[in-house]
Structure 1
């Protein structure tokens, strides 16, 4: 009788020990603005990086400012067109982009609050850029085919399409600057240009760097990663994979968030469960989205091979805002997404360390979030 009870208890313990559903507790949580949706657009790069800048404003000033994602999108589309036509069509043109595109846009055009440019002609409509992008692409392809000399009005036609779908914007002034998301108004009564408004946020765009980890270029050098959405040829600091992860952790520990470029096309990126993991055993692919299972040891070499064979691609940008741990002590990065609050865990996803080691293309962060060792090695 006692042996039977012991055997049953052992089986129960084994089941609990090896088939545990996820139970998360907070390790680090950095304040950010509410989750919103990019709707039916490929503008995750702007939503993620704009959210990153909003968290930076909170960190620097304590103010919660809702910045316009579509203002960055509109201006970046202008630069994409110039790039495409100048390169005679020998480059990418589409909805995608990277985190540095928002920094470049802010540097060139400034930023504005959401209430000054919502980026659609009807506030009740969802974002949908399918028709807009098709019309924009047709114009730049026509400009290349006919040459700008024979199609001198292509820029005006292009801007007209942006105005039609995103709404017109007065580049001269914004009427109600610095509206915080809690309804309080700062700088009331003043009119600011987008660049003046940028200055009022206290953001220093020179503070931001992008880091990555690949072996096809020397470590601690600047790398222009050859991926389709890097139309701007933005450079990144390259470093060993372990150090790449150490810098992500260091930034979070110091209270800095990060804009993340990653691959979300994996079957173990749980759009419903909100968990993103890399199973050690392929047979656990389905179960691991609900239960804790062993994960793969991701080496530098494995990361590189998965990137080179296209199994890792830059599909999506999100915003790392903290860390959680499961009941076994495994840590995960808390990542804010732009698919609305119904996706994942109320709009957030928990990415395991192996998933980030394998699938994180790059991260944009404040250089003060880097480790001392990395700062010295890359000279920032």
Structure 2
């Protein structure tokens, strides 16, 4: 009976400890826009990198602008389709991506505020790309297989038309705060230069202090990263934040130590000691 009582007390203690919330101390607090739900989509890369760009706009101009994540998504899907079809299906075509895909889109297609292009049907406030992605995947696989033995010139307009149906036509001009812009002139107004930004990472399989193409499926655009030892990687992040520059962070959320529900990503102490 005493052993049973001891076990009950032990389980109760562990349960209380498990429920204790993590406590965080604010060290640096840079201006950022509110968190926005990506809904039922795999477009976290666009939402996170767009938030980073919004913080950069605040830093550069003092303006708080809600950018359109879906404008970038729409443009990037065309790039993904081009890559997949031209490589005859021997490439990745998925919802995933990385921060540099947003910068690539900004450089090629400019920027648009969310009020000019939400990517939502009128009256809807929740993104759901399940059906659209299934349709697009079926289309690009068909074009990559090339059943007619000669790739139709209609494939690009067809993919674009599907994106128009689900997300809306990309605007050529729009009005923002009483002024008419194109995506490129709006980009100029924000003072954002995509060439000002660099992607860094830390992997042991590549040479340090040099650039390499990160070989993961979501890097469909073959983006290059500057590889740093982990300590230098952290020092670079800390230095950026200390000097008022925000950062964008791409990470793998499939690890068991990441919890979307609790908003936590941790490295267990035992794992840390073994690395």
Give the TM-score normalised by the residue count of structure 1: 0.64
Shift of 1:112: 0.4
Residue 233 of structure 1 is matched in structure 2 by 222
* SS of match in other structure, 2:250: strand
Greater helix percent: which structure?
Answer: 2
Residue 325 of structure 1 is matched in structure 2 by none
1:139 and 1:158 in contact (8 A); partners too: yes
* 1:180-191 to 2 correspondences below 5 Å: 185=177, 188=178, 190-191=179-180
Residue 164 of structure 1 is matched in structure 2 by 165
Pair 1:203 & 2:192 matched? yes
Q: Relative to structure 1, is the Cα distance of residues 148 and 99 closer, same or farther in structure 2, using a 3 angstrom cutoff? A: farther
1:148 and 1:154 in contact (8 A); partners too: no
Shift of 1:194: 0.3
Residue 262 of structure 2 is matched in structure 1 by 273
Pair 1:247 & 2:240 matched? no
Residue 6 of structure 2 is matched in structure 1 by none
1:64-85 CA-partner distances (Å, limit 9, x unpaired) = 0110000000000011111111
Shift of 1:53: 0.2
Structure 2 residue aligned with 1:256, among 220, 233, 245? Answer: 245
Residue 101 of structure 1 is matched in structure 2 by 101
Pair 1:214 & 2:203 matched? yes
1:175-214 CA-partner distances (Å, limit 9, x unpaired) = x22xxxxxxx3xx3x3211011101000111110000111
Residue 332 of structure 1 is matched in structure 2 by none
Shift of 1:249: 0.8
* SS of match in other structure, 1:237: strand
1:320-379 CA-partner distances (Å, limit 9, x unpaired) = xxxxxxxxxxxxxxxxxxxxxxxxxxxxxxxxxxxxxxxxxxxxxxxxxxxxxxxxxxxx
Q: CA RMSD for the aligned pairs?
A: 1.8
2:47 and 2:69 in contact (8 A); partners too: yes
Distance (whole Å) between structure 2 residues aligned to residue 199 and residue 274 of structure 1 = 35
Shift of 1:232: 0.4
What is the number of residues matched between the two proteins?
A: 257
Shift of 1:297: 3.0
Shift of 1:51: 0.3
1:275-332 CA-partner distances (Å, limit 9, x unpaired) = 3212235xxxxxxxxxxxxx72363xxxxxxxxxxxxxxxxxxxxxxxxxxxxxxxxx
Distance (whole Å) between structure 2 residues aligned to residue 148 and residue 200 of structure 1 = 47
Residue 151 of structure 1 is matched in structure 2 by 152
Q: Relative to structure 1, is the Cα distance of residues 269 and 150 closer, same or farther in structure 2, using a 3 angstrom cutoff? A: closer
Shift of 1:48: 0.3
* SS of match in other structure, 1:51: helix
Distance (whole Å) between structure 2 residues aligned to residue 272 and residue 216 of structure 1 = 32
Distance (whole Å) between structure 2 residues aligned to residue 170 and residue 249 of structure 1 = 38
Distance (whole Å) between structure 2 residues aligned to residue 83 and residue 21 of structure 1 = 45
Residue 52 of structure 1 is matched in structure 2 by 52
1:80 and 1:231 in contact (8 A); partners too: yes
Note the residue ranges of structure 2 that are not aligned, 5 or more in a row.
Answer: 1-12
Residue 272 of structure 2 is matched in structure 1 by 296
Residue 67 of structure 2 is matched in structure 1 by 67
Shift of 1:59: 0.6
Q: Relative to structure 1, is the Cα distance of residues 28 and 240 closer, same or farther in structure 2, using a 3 angstrom cutoff? A: same
